[in-house]
Amino acid sequence: MRINWNFNIFKKIYALIILFLIPVLGLYYYSNHISVEVVEQEINNRDLNKLNYVLSQLESDFEQLSLISLALVQDPDIHKYVNSEVFSNTFKDDYDLVELKVKIMEKISFLSLLNNWRNGIFVYTDSSGEVLSSNILLRSNFAPNEFSANWEYNPRSDLFYKHTLTPITEPGDRDEDDLIVEVRAPASYIREALDQLKVGGDGDPYLYRPVSQPLANRSANGELIEQLNERLDREPLQTAGHLTEQINGKKYLVTYVRSEVMGWTLVDYAKVDTILAPIEMSRNFFWFSVGLLLILFGVVATLLFFHVQRPTGELIDSMHRLKKGDYQVRLRPDKNNVFYFIFKRFNEMAEEIQHLIEKAYVEKLRTNEAVMKQLQSQINPHFLYNSLFFVQTMARRGREDEVETICMHLSEYYRYATRVDRQLVTLREEMEYIHNYLEIHVMRTQRIRYEIDVPEEMLELEIPRMLVQPLVENAIKHGIEPKPGEGTIRIGGERRENGYVLYIEDNGVGMPAEEAERLNELIRQSNGGDDAEIGCGVWNIHQRMKYKFGEGAGLTFAAKEEGGLLVSMQWSEDQAEGGGQHVSIAAGR
């Protein structure tokens, strides 16, 4: 039993749930997106502020060293000492020159103490080769770096250095007698500053400059910094800004600030996954809650389906089957279900309807059987009178053989017609009855020919008695007799996929195709058998076939193009199959 459930209620429930979830999920996605953006913006601002603060301190120290070098390169005592030959009249003896040198050393030492770093200050000229410095060890091991008016980094000595020249000219215009002040700053102090900047964070702050090795803190991740530098090399950097980079499937926020004083860029990064872990945990918990609610909803919907929707669907389906005529339909009431009382009352109602329908159907069959018997009693006397008149005529003429033949056919005909105790006969018996009936007409009219060609497999099928004879009689009476000349009646049958077809055709006057189609419509709509256009006999045959073989059975009329009428009797019935031979009868004069 196939049940077509009605899911309208569940469709509405699911639609409401979806309409409710769409704005909730949309609002949550929007709020989560805004939260992530705010957190990332706060991270960027925090890192940018830290980098600006540290870089301002570094720049302050570098600028202070630059001012010291500028002050020394313009100091008059240093100029007097370096150019002692020029100012020889100023010094009385070598003691004054030594005293000036000591004074210069003290001045360099004092100026070097103004800076927090352990710096190195060197004053020299290329021509004299003498170096003035506050530290005798540094002075003795001094080797000048390549001249640079800006701060440069020497990776071999791990120092930052800068030169100041007097007179202050372009580096290309430098002379050997020019006074040069070289200021050095150890990179270790910058690393300490980067180590302090890293405290409390998960990044690796470092100094970046294209085509140079980065200057990072002591615990930096060199491989990660190298991958970040590849992105920085491709990116046109501004004075300060932010970048987002995916490395090994992880997202990093990169913050940078460029130092115009040092010529380097201070860079730091933060791992987004670590910072956004609480937000992701909250998001995962939300999705888990939504999934759990959907599962609970599914469980509730399933319970409603089996306890409400399914019984309702069974009840509706059973009502449709009852409406279509299936009066044996019954429901299985469950005492634990709220529909138990309804199912029980439905079964009682269906049983009562089935009883009433069967009773009315039996009464209708009896009525139709009585009508058939009455029709037989009306038809038989009329045919008998005509046949007896023909026998009388042949006897007067002395044609004993024909009288004997027609009497034999007449006796067989009435033996079959008068047996009203058995209403179902085989198609073979019916065809023998039609053979006797047509032979009588052939002998009477002398202008009728007939052919009977029914497959052997159909001859054992059971049909109602005298089902074909009224159609043959109509073919003779309304088709052949009004037409002059010889008439032919053909009776045939065939097996089809959906059942059997028995057809009766004649070459009589026939009828137009439109009238045949209107006759088909009338026989399908008529329900009284008293329609003058159809005829009681034809209507009765159609109804008897419907009662016997079901709604699909009945008569069909078709006009033939060459003249005459084709009447088809179709039905569907599982009958015993015979051999494949045909019984063929042909007669006429």
Q: Is residue 449 very low, low, confident or very high in pLDDT (cuts 50, 70, 90)?
A: very high
523 shares a domain with 382: yes
Answer yes or no: do 313 and 418 share one domain. no
190 CB-near residues (< 8 Å, 6+ apart): 58, 160, 207, 215
Do residue 308 and residue 250 come from a single domain? no
Which range among 420-424, 519-523, 538-542 shows the weakest confidence by mean pLDDT? 420-424
Least confident among 23-27, 88-92, 423-427: 88-92
For residue 179, report the phi and psi dihedrals to the nearest 5 degrees. Answer: -80, 130
Asked if residue 206 has pLDDT above 70, the reply is yes
Are residues 408 and 334 part of one domain? no
The token pair that represents 138 in the structure block: 């540094």
The reported pTM is 0.46
Asked which of 225, 248, 275 is the last residue of a domain, the reply is 275
**Spatial separation of the C-alpha atoms in residues 190 and 187, rounded to whole Å:** 5
Quote the tokens at residue 388. 């007896």
Domain span at residue 315 reads 279-351
H or E element at residue 280: helix 277-304
Please check whether residues 345 and 264 belong to one and the same domain: no
For residues 11 and 127, state if they share a domain.
yes
Residues 584 and 439 in one domain: yes
Interval 351-367 mean pLDDT: 77
Joined tokens for residue 190: 């910058």
According to the model, what pLDDT value does residue 44 have?
Answer: 76
Same domain, 438 and 490: yes
CATH number where 527 lies: 3.30.565.10
Kindly state whether residues 144 and 23 are assigned to the same domain.
yes
Q: Would you state the pLDDT for residue 557?
A: 92
Instruction: Say how many domains are in the chain.
Output: 3
Judgement on whether residues 257 and 299 belong to the same structural domain of the protein: no
- Check whether residue 369 and residue 347 sit in a common domain: no
Give mean pLDDT, residues 101-116.
76
The two tokens of residue 34 are 């805004």
331, 351, 371 - which closes a domain = 351
The reply to whether 505 and 567 lie within a common domain is yes
Q: Which of 308, 325, 351 is the last residue of a domain?
A: 351
**How does strand 240-247 pair with strand 250-258?**
antiparallel
Cross-strand pairs, 271? 252
Place 569 in a pLDDT band, splitting at 50, 70 and 90.
very high
DSSP output for 75-109: -HHHHHHHTTTTTGGG-SSHHHHHHHHHHHHHHHH
pLDDT digits (tens, 9 = 90+) for 256-271: 889 888 888 888 888 7
Residue 451 — very low, low, confident or very high, per pLDDT cuts 50/70/90? very high
pLDDT of res. 542: 85
